[in-house]
């Protein structure tokens, strides 16, 4: 139990590998600006349903999102029921966080380039909403 609490940051401090990932107000403000600039689609890097399925194995959802240190801690503490239940929500939070960061990164870097190419006629948008090269 002390191992899990120290890893959570309850005993070990704020630089714990188990700190939950969450979307901050600053990230939300940045996304609002990107939406105003025309990037209004959410781009998914990870799938929430797959993370939930992997979470059946303690730490599986964390392995799916690449948080291996956190996954090992959840796996080692799985006899305790609370960390096992928390790992489900943590996997969902991580998926939301990484998808949000991926969308923001895409909108800041690749979206303006795609818009320029579309304006010049190099790329057209099909009826399904996917981009097709000419």
Entry pTM = 0.65
Beta carbons of 108 and 61 less than 8 angstroms apart: no
d(CA 124, CA 133): 7
d(CA 87, CA 36): 35
Q: What pLDDT shows up at residue 125?
A: 59
Q: What is the pLDDT of residues 22-41, one digit of tens each?
A: 777 888 888 888 878 777 77
Q: What is the pLDDT of residues 41-85, one digit of tens each?
A: 777 788 888 998 998 888 899 999 988 888 898 888 877 888 778
d(CA 4, CA 124): 53
pLDDT bracket for residue 129 (50, 70, 90) = very low
Closest CA to 75 of 96, 95, 57: 57
């Amino acid at each position: 139990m002390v191992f899990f609490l120290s890893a959570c940051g309850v005993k070990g401090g704020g630089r714990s590998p188990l700190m939950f990932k969450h979307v901050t107000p600053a990230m939300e403000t940045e996304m609002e600006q990107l939406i105003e600039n025309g990037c209004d689609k959410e781009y998914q890097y990870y799938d929430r349903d797959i993370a939930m399925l992997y979470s059946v194995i303690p730490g599986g959802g964390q392995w799916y999102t690449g948080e291996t240190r956190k996954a090992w801690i959840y796996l080692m503490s799985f006899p305790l029921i609370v960390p096992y239940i928390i790992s489900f929500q943590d996997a969902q939070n991580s998926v939301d966080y990484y998808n949000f960061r991926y969308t923001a990164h895409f909108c800041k870097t690749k979206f303006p380039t795609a818009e320029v190419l579309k304006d010049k006629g190099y790329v057209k948008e099909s009826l399904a909403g996917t981009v097709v090269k000419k």
